[in-house]
Amino acid sequence: MTSVLILMLCNLSQAPRLYRNASSLVLTEHNGESVNPITYSAISAAKQLGGDITVLVCGTDCSKVAGEVAKAEGVGKVLVAQDEGFKGNLPEALSPLLVAAQKQFGFTHVLSGASAVGKVRLSKVMSVSMVTYLLHLDL
């Protein structure tokens, strides 16, 4: 079983409203040609949280990856950010994009596979609690 990182972007006092208005952003890990399977684990966790699921694909040429992840069950929207600055998916380049996406869309959760890449990406935007190494989600 693959573990998932979840960044909760709400105060715990908002929990009753959370499930009614939940929206998740899933960060895609890929090699430029195909989606890393750990991304699908994050999408599965987002489905269990409920609400809308948006997937963010970043890189230099991600149209093939975006098309692949758009077919995943539960994904409602795919955001694509293509720029030479995203080459290598360095956290320093991606962090401003994640913050801007959060400000624009107001996601209640940001999810990523619990890989080295996912941990570094999410830790760069940490100003709220992060649940790490989630193996199973019971709601």
63 alpha-carbon distance from chain centroid? 18
Note down pLDDT in tens along the chain; length 139 residues.
Answer: 455 555 555 444 444 444 556 789 998 988 888 999 989 988 998 898 888 999 999 989 889 999 999 999 999 999 999 988 888 777 777 878 888 888 888 888 888 887 766 666 666 655 544 555 444 454 4
| Planar angle of CA 100, 110, 9, nearest 5 degrees | 80
Q: Which two tokens stand for residue 39?
A: 């991304």
Q: What is the pTM of this model?
A: 0.79
Helix axis angle for 91-105 and 116-123, nearest 10°, is: 60
In the chain the domains, ranked by start, together with CATH numbers, are 1-5+20-86+105-127 (3.40.50.620)
Secondary structure (DSSP) of 18-77: HTTS-EEEEEPPB-SSSB-HHHHHHHHHHHHH-SEEEEEEEESS-HHHHHHHHTSTT--E
